[in-house]
Structure 1
């Protein structure tokens, strides 16, 4: 009898442990906006406007355009990711409103934002291709900089300590023995 109870507890414990490992499904919806599910993905490529080569690690963000209760238009972030080394990005299993924007930023490049309107019939079959998004170089030339610094009084080496006595008041007018004592 005890063996059966122990076996029942063991089976129930294993079952509940296995069930608790399921991952919850995220709801990527925005309140108050008509939605379309993009199962095949929202995809595109970020390229340099001069060379046409893909940009690695550019930030791609998808914003939904909705109106709040006061009637003001608000942008809500739906998803974001970094591009692959060839500049490709792909968002899967998104629920998107009828109009949204794709904002792309990268270090050393000007920000680019693309407004997208959806055709629900094509999106359901193929996914949504936003095409190549071109980013222009943004070079900001800074003025020249002169670094002025003083040596620190104490420098720690691997095998020794170096004490600079140049600015030490107690070493003025004394000998090396006086500096070593202080």
Structure 2
């Protein structure tokens, strides 16, 4: 990668990070919620964000983009469209209308279960798994497990934000999941 391209990507990542809003004590005391809404509302920031992901995956041999409920549903379909790929939704329990398989996991302030349609992808499909951020890594790991149970390969997990102090990015990498994030925030 050329130095100017590398610098442009760093500048773009900084531009995105500067637009992420921190909401203290939400959804519970002690949590610093990283809100991507300002990124989505700013047409230049949204375009910059999607362009970063498109440039990362434009030459990858992929079959689909999978997005995690709910904010992965915002980024994932746009990225899938830009790459001329299909989109696979991974939803919270009870939200998908057809036959599903499910996976439970722990997150930073509780537990949850996600589901995927049993025919969402086929064995051998190469998929990038997308969400807004990586905190404890539970949601991404649950998505990875579901896709792999259907026979797909998770080529990479991708998120806008990494919260490395919560350990999720380490958990994913130690589980053999390559991870790409645009920016990171220290602390909880």
TM-score by length of 2: 0.23
Greater gyration radius: 1
Bigger relative contact order, structure 1 or 2 (CA pairs below 8 A, ≥6 apart) = 1
Give the TM-score normalised by structure 1: 0.24
- Larger helix percent: 2
